[in-house]
Amino acid sequence: MTYEEFYYSIDCKFPYHQEDEWKRIINKSIEIGNDAPFLVLHEICRVPASEKLDTEKHIKMYKYWKQSFTSPVQDIVEPASLSYINKTEITDSEALDIMEKLLAFPKSYNALQVVLFSCPDDDELVDEKYEKIVAQWKSAT
């Protein structure tokens, strides 16, 4: 399965209430590699308004995702991930700091998006930083 096929198989279809299935998807993302596990993180964090997921189950899903593989990006993006799950926001300044750290991990697009959507971005500085990093990563390929 390609990254693109994987993306379309889970986009807006993540099985939040089917534990065996979300575990399978997490494991599949690790098999695919690169940014795929962070695509899953994005789905885990950004639960659609139409879905109801209690915090305990949400944390369980996140913890399973995190313990399933090792990447320095996991720890960098964790404050943003947990802010989603706990229905809080990090500050724009925190988001900018996290993005600066992610810069060292080219093509971590989904991790970067989790950060982008985890803060209020009142002055649109976070969006601006997001766009700059994406452009920089794309120009390096």
Domain count, the chain: 1
Cα–Cα distance between 123 and 67 in angstroms, integer?
Answer: 35
The 10s digit of each residue's pLDDT in 47-96 is: 988 899 999 999 999 999 999 999 999 999 999 999 989 999 999 999 99
The pLDDT, as a whole number, for residue 70 is 95
Cα–Cα distance between 47 and 31 in angstroms, integer?
Answer: 23
The pLDDT, as a whole number, for residue 141 is 66
The pLDDT, as a whole number, for residue 49 is 86
CA 80 to chain centre: 9
The 10s digit of each residue's pLDDT in 9-44 is: 998 899 999 999 999 999 999 999 989 999 999 999
**pTM here?**
0.93
Range of the domain at 110: 3-139
